[in-house]
Structure 1
C-alpha cells in the first residue's frame, strides 16, 4: 500500500495520523477494557490518573505492548478510511491555509483505497499476529506483535542466499539442504528462547521455511 504523503507541518497532521492509525489497527475490545478499568481504579491524585486517550498520547508504546490490535475486513476498513479521507483531505491549516492533501496526496489516496478494497491490507481471518511474553506487575499480559516483522531478513534469507546460491543445486538437493537448515535454525531459536523467555511459548517463534 502506498503511503499518504501529507504535510507534517500542517496543524492537523498529527490528529489525522492518529485517526488513520486507529482506523487501520483496531484495538482488541477486551484488552482495551482492561486498560480502561485500570485507569478508572486509580485515585484522583495518582500520578498515572488520566483518560485512555491521554494515555495513548503520552505512553502509546506502553499501551500497545499490552493491547492486541487487528486490521478490519476490507469492506469495513474501506468505509472507515474513505470517511476519514473525505473529512480531512480538504481541511485547511489555520496558519498556512494549505489543504492537508496536496495534489500528490490526492493522487495517491485512490490507490490506497483500492489496495484496501482488494483485501491487501486486512488481516487474514482467524490469524493472530501476537504471542504472550509475560504478565507484568500490574497483571497486564505483555505481547509481542509479529505483523510486518523483518526479523527473518538477516537471520534467514541472507543465510540461505549465502549458503546455497553457489550450489546451482537441483530441486531435490535444495529441498534436502533447506530441511537441514530449518532443523538447525529451529533448534538454535528454541535454545535462545529457553534461556531468555522461559514463560513464552517458544514454538510460536520458530521460523518454519516452506
Structure 2
C-alpha cells in the first residue's frame, strides 16, 4: 500500500514487503490449481520453484484477491507484529520507527473498516491474453 513507507535500505525491507503482499493478496485457488497442474505436467517444475524463479510468470496467470476484513486483518497484522521488533543487521535500526508504526496502525484501521477488501460480486480482474 502506498501509504506504508519503510526504508528500502533496511536489510529486512524486501522480506517484509513480500510477506505483506502475500498476506494482503491471496491467490485464487482455482487458478492456482490449474497453473500448478500445467507446471507439473508440461513444464516439469513446481509452483514454489516457479514462484521463486519468475513470480511475474505466475501472477500473469493467477488472479489475486483481497479477502474480507475479518479474514484479512489477522493475516496482515501478523507481518507487522513479526517485523516490528527486528533490527537491521548493518545499521541496528528497526524497520518500523515511530512514524512507520503510525502508518502501519492506519493500514490496520483501514483494513478493519473494510476499505481495503475486494467488494463482493465486483470483478477487478480481466482476461489478459
Q: Where on the TM-score scale, by shorter chain, does this alignment land: which range?
A: 0.7 to 0.9
- In the alignment, does 2:58 pair up with 1:69? no
State the 1:49 CA deviation.
5.2
| Structure 1 alignment gaps of length 5 or more | 43-47, 135-210
Match of 2:11 in 1: 11
Q: Is the 8 A contact 1:26 1:71 kept in 2?
A: yes
TM-score of the aligned structures, taking structure 2 as reference length: 0.87
Q: CA RMSD in A?
A: 1.9
Find the aligned partners of 2:46 and 2:98 in 1 and give their Cα distance: 37
Match of 1:87 in 2: 82
Q: Distance in 2 between matches of 1:51 and 1:89?
A: 32
Larger CA Rg, structure 1 vs 2: 1
* C-alpha deviation, 1:127, in angstroms: 1.8
CA deviations over 1:82-110 (Å, ceiling 9, x no partner): 11110111111222211111221011111
Say whether residues 1:26 and 2:26 are aligned partners.
Answer: yes
Residues 6 and 100 in structure 1, CA contact (< 8 A), matched pair in contact too: yes
Aligned match of 2:107 in 104, 109, 112? 112
Deviation string for 1:129-165 (max 9, x for gaps)? 122243xxxxxxxxxxxxxxxxxxxxxxxxxxxxxxx
Change in 2 beyond 3 A, CA 1:9/1:54: farther
Per the alignment, in what secondary structure is the counterpart of residue 126 of structure 2? strand
Structure 2 distance, partners of 1:50, 1:98, is 39
State the distance in 2 between where 1:85 and 1:2 align: 16
Give the counterpart of 1:98 among 78, 82, 93: 93
Unmatched runs of 5 consecutive residues or more in structure 2? none
SS at match of 1:130: coil
User: Partners of 1:110 and 1:2 in 2: how far apart?
Assistant: 14
Query: How many Å apart are 1:75 and its aligned residue?
Result: 1.3
